[in-house]
């Protein structure tokens, strides 16, 4: 592929947690390039200036702030040359990904841009939901990427969408509110319950993906601080019986999903398998961020008539970045959402089971 043919992306919040992960993940995607980044003044920017590898940065890094702030940042260091934010980003890039925690109703904080804009789940209900492999909902040019849970649910539910009659979700995720003023024991040991807006968002988005005619139940979300792997337990109602083997086959044929070998029952096992795959210098591969435990996968022959049970773990440090890549490709090319996911997985070296 010629360099000029690649999809050109600008990441707003380039040095933040998601922005940095997205930038690193995009480097494996041969048809997409990060052409520009946008940064804001603050502690994250100052830390990044001191630690980042300046040999591997986008061609343009824009400072979204005052002229005096830009002058101060450039005068205080020589590692990175920041430029004032351009009014015509569309002349440089095809897609703008806002990787910041853009809050509800704050679309006015986004730069003027007539191309595809992708925002994150914190901005819900702004934007049209995009959660490949489902076809994106129709929007103008503003799209909302699903969060870690929705990004994992979408391929799983897609695998069985033609026989679904109901979805019951139970999830464990990371507690994301500030804990700096809390006692140490609380930070380490506390378990929190989210019930309300988050549950309603999941209910609505699941119904949107499945076109609203599926009975959907979301149990209160358990949350723990400093959690890398999220878990979801799905009890699925089906319009007909589905055997465990058929369920396994459907999931294995869906991108972004890895079925664990027998005997695997912990995320420590998953990390060991990843290390084995990634250190093979002759045949690099990696485990995708959604892992389904085969030993507890149940079709109707085990779970009961017209029922299936799925237990999955989600690598929260990777899934959002790859979901954004799927969305970038889906919204800016003629490829379907499913084809976009398969291409992302191919470039990332993801496998669906251990060789």
pLDDT, tens digit, 9 for 90 and up, residues 60-99: 999 999 999 999 999 988 888 999 998 889 899 999 999 9
Domain assignment of residue 333, yes or no: no
Answer yes or no: do 268 and 173 share one domain.
Answer: yes
Category of 93 on φ-ψ map: left (φ > 0), alpha (ψ -120 to 50) or beta: beta
Average pLDDT, the chain: 92
Answer yes or no: do 88 and 203 share one domain.
Answer: no
At 234, phi and psi to the nearest 5? -115, 125
Distance CA 183, CA 118 (A): 37
Question: Residue 3: is its pLDDT beyond 60?
Answer: no
Answer yes or no: do 251 and 306 share one domain.
Answer: yes
Locus of tokens 């890398």: 228
Question: Residue 203: is its pLDDT beyond 90?
Answer: yes
Which residues touch 354 (CB under 8 Å, ≥6 apart)? Answer: 261, 273, 277
Distance CA 118, CA 104 (A): 14
Distance CA 56, CA 107 (A): 30
Residue 294's closest CA among 278, 275, 273? 273
Answer yes or no: do 207 and 95 share one domain.
Answer: no
CATH code at position 234: 3.30.360.10
pLDDT band at 315 (very low <50, low <70, confident <90, very high): very high
pLDDT at 145: 96
Find the helix packing angle between 148-159 and 197-209, rounded to 10°. 30
Out of 61, 95, 114, pick the residue that ends a domain: 114
Domain assignment of residue 272, yes or no: yes
Which range marks the domain in which residue 175 is found? 149-320
Helix (H, G, I), strand (E, B) or coil at 210: coil
Which tens digits make up the pLDDT trace of 95-133?
999 999 876 555 556 778 889 999 999 999 999 999 999
Answer yes or no: do 100 and 162 share one domain.
Answer: no
As a whole number, mean pLDDT of residues 311-339 equals 97
Domain assignment of residue 346, yes or no: no
pLDDT at 167: 98
Q: CA neighbours within 13 Å on the CB side: how many for 329? A: 26
Q: What is the DSSP annotation of 163-198?
A: GEEEEEEEEEEE--S--TTS-HHHHHH--EEE-SHH
pLDDT at 108: 53
pLDDT at 320: 97
* Per-residue CA distances from 236 to 124, 154, 167, 185, 199 (Å): 26, 14, 5, 37, 17
* Per-residue CA distances from 41 to 47, 57, 74, 354 (Å): 11, 18, 11, 44
CATH code at position 49: 3.40.50
Helix (H, G, I), strand (E, B) or coil at 259: strand
Category of 256 on φ-ψ map: left (φ > 0), alpha (ψ -120 to 50) or beta: left
Distance CA 257, CA 297 (A): 13
Answer yes or no: do 260 and 314 share one domain.
Answer: yes
Answer yes or no: do 197 and 73 share one domain.
Answer: no
Answer yes or no: do 181 and 252 share one domain.
Answer: yes
pLDDT at 107: 55
Question: Residue 222: is its pLDDT beyond 60?
Answer: yes
Domain assignment of residue 347, yes or no: no
Domain assignment of residue 250, yes or no: yes
Answer yes or no: do 316 and 226 share one domain.
Answer: yes
Residue 96 and residue 110 in contact, taking contact as beta carbons nearer than 8 Å? yes
pLDDT at 1: 45
Domain assignment of residue 212, yes or no: yes
pLDDT at 55: 76
Domain count across the chain: 2
Q: Which two tokens stand for residue 274?
A: 């990843």
Domain assignment of residue 337, yes or no: no
pLDDT at 130: 96
Answer yes or no: do 208 and 265 share one domain.
Answer: yes
* Per-residue CA distances from 259 to 10, 116, 277, 311, 346 (Å): 34, 34, 15, 11, 17
Answer yes or no: do 107 and 199 share one domain.
Answer: no
Domain assignment of residue 330, yes or no: no
* Window from 24-38, 181-195, 247-261, 325-339 with minimum mean pLDDT: 181-195
Which tens digits make up the pLDDT trace of 11-65?
999 999 999 999 999 999 999 999 999 999 888 898 888 887 777 889 899 999 9
Q: Measured at the alpha carbon of residue 8, what is the angle toward residues 138 and 70, in degrees to the nearest 5?
A: 110
Answer yes or no: do 168 and 272 share one domain.
Answer: yes
């Amino acid at each position: 592929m010629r360099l000029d043919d690649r999809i050109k992306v600008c990441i707003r919040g380039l040095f933040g947690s998601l922005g940095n992960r997205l930038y690193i993940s995009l480097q494996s995607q041969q048809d997409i390039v990060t052409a520009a980044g946008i940064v804001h003044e603050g502690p994250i920017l100052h830390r990044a200036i001191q630690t980042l590898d300046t040999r591997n940065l986008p061609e343009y890094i824009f400072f979204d702030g005052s002229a005096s702030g830009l002058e101060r940042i450039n005068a205080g260091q020589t590692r990175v040359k920041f430029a004032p934010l351009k009014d015509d980003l569309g002349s440089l890039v095809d897609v703008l990904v806002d990787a910041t925690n853009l809050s509800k109703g704050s679309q006015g904080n986004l730069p003027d841009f007539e191309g595809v804009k992708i925002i994150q789940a914190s901005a819900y209900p702004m934007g049209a939901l995009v959660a490949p492999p489902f076809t994106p909902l129709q929007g103008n040019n503003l799209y909302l990427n699903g969060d870690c849970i929705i990004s994992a649910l979408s391929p799983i539910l897609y695998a069985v969408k033609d026989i679904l009659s109901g979805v019951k979700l139970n999830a464990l995720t990371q507690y994301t509110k500030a804990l700096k003023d809390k006692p140490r024991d609380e930070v380490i040991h506390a378990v929190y319950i989210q019930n309300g807006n988050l549950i309603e968002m999941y209910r609505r988005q699941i119904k949107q993906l499945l076109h609203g005619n599926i009975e959907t139940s979301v149990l209160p979300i358990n949350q723990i601080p400093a959690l890398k792997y999220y878990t979801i337990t799905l009890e699925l109602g089906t319009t007909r019986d589905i055997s465990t083997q058929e369920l396994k086959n459907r999931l294995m044929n869906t991108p972004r999903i890895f079925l664990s070998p027998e005997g695997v029952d912990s995320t420590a096992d998953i990390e060991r398998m990843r290390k084995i795959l990634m250190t093979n210098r002759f045949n690099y591969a990696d485990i995708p961020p959604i892992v389904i435990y085969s030993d507890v996968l149940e079709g109707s022959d085990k779970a009961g008539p017209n029922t299936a049970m799925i237990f999955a773990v989600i690598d929260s440090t990777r899934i959002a970045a790859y979901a954004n890549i799927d969305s970038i490709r889906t919204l800016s090319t003629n490829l379907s959402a499913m084809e976009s996911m398969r291409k992302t997985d191919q470039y990332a070296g993801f496998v669906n089971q251990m060789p």
